[in-house]
Structure 1
Amino acid sequence: MLLDKTVRFSLAGCLLAQMLVSISLGSDWPQWRGPTRDGVAQGTAWPESLGEDVLKLSWRVELGPSYSGPIVVGDRVFTTETRDEQTEVASAYDRRTGKRLWEAEWPGSLTVPFFAASNGSWIRATPVANTDTLFVAGIRDVLVALDTQTGAQRWRLDFPAELGSEAPKFGCASSPLLDSDYLYAQMGGGFVKVHQQTGKVAWRVAPDGGGMSGGAFSSPYLTNDNGQRLAVVQTREALKGIDAETGDELWTQTIEAFRGMNILTPVLYDGKLFTSAHTGRSQLWRRDGDDPGRLQQVWSNKSQAYMSSPVVVGDHLYLHLRNQRIQCLDLKTGEEAWRTQPYGKYQSMAVLGDRILALDERGELLLFRANPETFEEIDRRPISEAETWAHIAVCGGQLFVRELHALAVYDWVQE
């Protein structure tokens, strides 16, 4: 089996106050797609309303543009921005008051190709943090480590300068992950393992050359494979399993997509891997019992994802499609349970129990039930007049939204 255990959704919760929810233990959102990197939130069930008397704006600060999702560790919120098209900035805010605690900056400028100009030339990847250090991937393939308390720079790793790799044409878009003493990132023309204390590269692998050196859009995922630490890496051309200790490639599977637009983060289900590609297909894969160096397709269908990574509840997957509809898939069979009317070009999804929050790029927040029988909209609400392409963070009774030019924080109110 690919995994020695499946992802569980009955996670320990946060304590809620009777009125405004207080910050509690286990209420962090420290990386891309949350604590377990799969969009699963922790805590007490969200109210079945998005009304302004239930989901209240706590504070909002104006910022330069960014596609990075906000992350939350302890009493701090971290976000990024690009200023004057030349400088990248990381900032820390008090999560209750919105007071800026510090900011750090470095040169960071790159112009994306003309046909992607509408996507902007600003910082893209979501940072990752522990209690000591914030790690930020800049648009020019530069990895910066900052002290979470002061913003002081601990180290800076410029991959093009140090490894001779090219800066990705569309900018660094893959969000790094942290595991024990090491940071893993699809940067530097490949997949790298970096010591988090020193910034020294332990190894770099580029299994398929062109696909990785073009700059990955997808973000890596770490799991266990019969006691072995495994990095699941989706390049622009293939899905790969990399030994997280040695960097050895354990298996590879070509994933076809238009111009290498393999964007979503693959998700895990019952020891198997799901992925879906722009102009490609949705597919579920498992390790081949006869040949452990390859994957075997469980099922495939014509559904095409675009940029949004899905969430899994029970035996069903909830996926936002390239045609802007939300689809529910039976993961056992690959059959469609239902699909909706269009809901924007993008949906950043988070799930808690049987409720899914989804924010589209137009600033509309949707709350619906994870019900495989039918699409069950609970509530919806416009919360931003600006674009909202960054992934939401939901933890400790709060919702964190990175608008294109602002950071807004909301509190759930409990009766």
Structure 2
Amino acid sequence: MNNRKKILVLLFMLGAQAALAPHSLRAENWPHWRGPSFNGSTTEKGLPATFSKTESVKWVANLPGPSAGTPVIWNDRVFVSSVDQQARTLQAMCLDRAVGKTLWQRQTGVGISLDEKSNFASPSPVTDGKRVWFFYGNGELAAFDLDGKQIWSRNIQKDYGQFAFQWTFGSSPTFYAGRLSLQVLQRDVPVHGRGHADGPIDSFLLGLDPQTGKELWRVVRPNDAREESKESYATPIPFTFSGRTELLIAGGDCITGHDPANGKELWRWGTWNPNRITHWRLVPSPVAGGGVVLACGPKGAPVFAVKAGGHGTLNDSGLAWTSAEREISSDVSTPLFYEGRFYILNSDRRTLARVVPETAKVEWTGDTGSQAKIEASPTAADGKIYFMHHRGDVFVVEAGEQFKLLHTAAMGDEGDHDLRSSIAIAHGCLFIRTASKLYCVGKE
């Protein structure tokens, strides 16, 4: 065989091996705070089960201030939303994924919070690999290319009216099917001087042109909730079932599905609040899997599984099941769907439950032993589930048939509190955000 033929054969064999390589060997990005599938999971493999501040740390980057936002990752870039505590400004940041070096940092606003519970940088950025969008609780919304050049910016409060929330608003934007989506589910009257008094205050959904920021559609989303129960901090979640794609929207004592092309409401179910309690704000985003859509009632209320594929206004016959009150419940954390199971984190009881979507069977409930409240949302890959408590301890749980706590790592610093960022998983690494640091953790 001559050299030319040998080279051709070798190239063919290498190409065949690459084509037959398992998907697990192909690194995935993490473009949205709930991951590439909008359910908290990814197909990444080779992730560490044990680590610490000094073990399996590829790099650590200092951040100018805290945020509940989750980092998003695309190829060699990590995007982070933050406040600058000293300058009292809002920041959009991009880091080199390989070494943690700051590639660019842009000021996006002035002022960082309305209360001590959170700050304006709580929403997570989102990217499509060409652009990255940063939204903040004061209404600032800015688009950049991956090199940090600003493409456009606008302020949602200035364009649509002052937000009417008791606390600092914190919903993250979603990019899907060529559109940027944002939900603003708020009170219908001013609260603490917030919200305009010169007309009705609507709760609404927005579809925006990602390249220009211009409105593609705006849909008012009515509800029967009262006072604080109208407020939602959830994120629009794309979901496809039986060939129909929709945006799942939770808040205002109900859950709805909308056509992403025009925002039209396709169905709704509610309520988890039949007595119209007035302080049941909603934080967890919806999650779908196994033919159902989960909506988490707040304050110890059950989790409700709505049958996917509904039309119009659904009554309770549209429910597949309802969890046991307070036992399987989530007041803040968004549940995880991973390898055919829901994992529901109960922040008050500090337990994690594994639930079968089709039957509501609770296969196990495990006590994390956490010494602090847990309000981060769990993420998963490589047979492991990751989440962090308020002071920065990271828990690693086996996603198996029995509850098994594999590891606990103290990643927070002295004085860290109210940490809520979820752990992003991409390119074989974990991205763990504390109050002042971002850790990239991976096997050596």
Which TM-score bucket, shorter chain as reference? 0.7 to 0.9
Letter in 2 for 1:329: V
Inter-CA distance 288–103: structure 2 relative to 1 (3 Å threshold): closer
> For 2:257 and 2:126, how far apart are their aligned partners in 1?
22
Q: Alpha-carbon deviation of 1:273?
A: 0.7
> For 1:400 and 1:305, how far apart are their aligned partners in 2?
24
Does 2:372 match 1:356? Answer: no
> For 1:209 and 1:368, how far apart are their aligned partners in 2?
38
CA-atom RMSD in angstroms: 2.6
Q: Alpha-carbon deviation of 1:175?
A: 1.2
> For 2:112 and 2:51, how far apart are their aligned partners in 1?
38
Q: Alpha-carbon deviation of 1:219?
A: 1.0
1:284 alignment partner, one of 305, 313, 321: 305
Letter in 2 for 1:132: K
1:111-143 C-alpha deviation (Å, 9 max, x unpaired): 43xxxx441334110010122211011111221
Other-structure match for 1:411: 442
Stretches of structure 1 that go unaligned for 5 or more consecutive residues are 1-10, 16-25
Inter-CA distance 107–58: structure 2 relative to 1 (3 Å threshold): closer
Q: Judge conservation of contact 1:252–1:294 (CA < 8 Å) in 2.
A: yes
> For 1:55 and 1:182, how far apart are their aligned partners in 2?
38
Q: Alpha-carbon deviation of 1:82?
A: 1.4
> For 2:56 and 2:252, how far apart are their aligned partners in 1?
38
Q: Alpha-carbon deviation of 1:222?
A: 1.0
Q: How many residues align?
A: 386
Q: What SS is found at the alignment partner of 1:278?
A: coil
Inter-CA distance 213–88: structure 2 relative to 1 (3 Å threshold): farther
Does 2:154 match 1:123? Answer: no
1:390 alignment partner, one of 421, 426, 429: 421
> For 2:404 and 2:100, how far apart are their aligned partners in 1?
34
Q: Judge conservation of contact 1:384–1:403 (CA < 8 Å) in 2.
A: yes
Please, which moves more after superposition, 241-250 or 335-344? Answer: 335-344
Please, which moves more after superposition, 182-191 or 206-215? Answer: 206-215
Other-structure match for 1:7: none
> For 1:62 and 1:144, how far apart are their aligned partners in 2?
20
Q: Which has the higher contact order (CA 8 A, sep 6+)?
A: 1
Q: What SS is found at the alignment partner of 1:186?
A: strand
Q: What SS is found at the alignment partner of 1:338?
A: strand
> For 1:85 and 1:208, how far apart are their aligned partners in 2?
39
Other-structure match for 1:306: 331
Q: Judge conservation of contact 1:71–1:78 (CA < 8 Å) in 2.
A: yes
Letter in 2 for 1:366: F
> For 1:170 and 1:162, how far apart are their aligned partners in 2?
20
Q: What SS is found at the alignment partner of 2:377?
A: strand
2:269 alignment partner, one of 253, 257, 260: 253
Q: What SS is found at the alignment partner of 1:204?
A: strand
1:99 alignment partner, one of 92, 98, 101: 101
Stretches of structure 2 that go unaligned for 5 or more consecutive residues are 1-21, 186-202
Other-structure match for 2:183: 186
1:76-99 C-alpha deviation (Å, 9 max, x unpaired): 111121124742110111111222
TM-score (norm 1): 0.85
> For 1:209 and 1:238, how far apart are their aligned partners in 2?
7
> For 2:442 and 2:230, how far apart are their aligned partners in 1?
40
1:329 alignment partner, one of 339, 347, 355: 355
Other-structure match for 1:23: none
1:33-56 C-alpha deviation (Å, 9 max, x unpaired): 111111112222434433678632
1:286-305 C-alpha deviation (Å, 9 max, x unpaired): 1587x654261111121221
TM-score (norm 2): 0.80
Structure 1 or 2, whichever has the larger Rg, is: 2
> For 1:379 and 1:244, how far apart are their aligned partners in 2?
40
